[in-house]
Amino acid sequence: AQKITQTQPGMFVQEKEAVTLDCTYDTSDQSYGLFWYKQPSSGEMIFLIYQGSYDEQNATEGRYSLNFQKARKSANLVISASQLGDSAMYFCAMSSDQTGANNLFFGTGTRLTVIP
Amino acid sequence: AAGVIQSPRHLIKEKRETATLKCYPIPRHDTVYWYQQGPGQDPQFLISFYEKMQSDKGSIPDRFSAQQFSDYHSELNMSSLELGDSALYFCASSSATPSGNTEAFFGQGTRLTVV
């Protein structure tokens, strides 16, 4: 069975600073994908970044980077230079499908608030 | 760029009624996924389709059914609605390639309220 754990229900960060959102996972699969999604108060689910279990390099997408530590089964999201628009709920998710969105298991989310 | 379109955006139904949610994937995407997110909850996978065939099945109740049509749009049919069905329903789409699916993009969701 797959499990995603996000231990930070809420986080605060000062505008323009960096913040790390924690995510640990558990799976017996050798091949899997890890995802981060952003859900603003308007409700839509926005894909941020993806890391495949066989990728050796940490994924980066603009101000987002994924700190992938396979041995520790962690996939933390780092947001650099936080902006007010980053305030949202952030979900870590996992799939044995590598990519796509098949049977994604989501964590309980972290609500990030960016302070001016 | 075109995104995943879901309709309606909001829907209010009474208990025991039926509801149909529609999802129009990104052009050239052949795979569709449905998720249900209850209030304050994380999204739960319901079902997925690839090339009009059911691909995978999650925690979809027997009262729900879904299909993907020849134009790749998908519909989620929900019957005998219960108060607990009130949730945000997301559709996502991706494209299958020989090396796996491309990243999936979610629609804005349909907020269903059962009263």
| Cβ proximity of B23 and B107 under 8 Å | yes
Percent of chain B exceeding pLDDT 70 equals: 94
Strand segments, DSSP code E, in B5-115 are 5-7, 10-13, 19-24, 31-37, 44-50, 53-57, 64-68, 74-78, 87-94, 96-97, 100-101, 105-106, 110-114
The minimum CA-CA distance between B69 and chain A, rounded to whole Å, is 19
Low-confidence residues in chain A, pLDDT < 50:
none
Question: How far is residue B4's CA from residue A97's CA, in Å, rounded to a whole number?
Answer: 20
The answer to whether residue A89 neighbours chain B at the CB level (below 8 Å) is: no
User: Taking CB atoms and an 8 Å limit, are B106 and A101 in contact across chains?
Assistant: yes
| CB distance A35 to A49 below 8 Å | yes
Q: For chain B, what is the mean pLDDT?
A: 92
Q: Going by C-beta distance under 8 Å and a sequence separation of 6 or more, which residues neighbour residue A25?
A: A2, A3, A4, A5, A32, A34, A73, A74, A75, A92, A94
- Please state, as a whole number, how many other Cβ atoms lie within 10 Å of the Cβ of residue A31: 12
**Sign, CA torsion B78/B6/B56/B45:** negative
> What is the per-residue pLDDT for B78?
97
SS (H, E, C) A38-51: EECCCCCCEEEEEE
pLDDT at B80: 97
Q: How many CA atoms lie within 13 A of A71 on its CB side?
A: 0
Calculate mean pLDDT across residues B50-72: 93
Interface with chain A: mutation pick from B29, B30, B37, B42, highest number of A CBs within 10 Å: B42
Output the CA–CA distances (angstroms, integers) from residue A80 to A8, A31, A57, B7, B79, in the order listed. 18, 29, 18, 35, 45
Q: Write out the two tokens for A13.
A: 């960060």
Q: Looking at the complex, does the CB of residue A64 fall below 8 Å from at least one CB of chain B?
A: no
Cβ neighbours for B10, distance < 8 A, ≥ 6 positions apart: B110, B111, B113
Question: How does DSSP classify residue A59?
Answer: P
Please give the mean pLDDT across all residues of chain A.
Answer: 92
B113 pLDDT band (50/70/90 cuts)? very high
- Lookup: tokens for A71: 């041995």
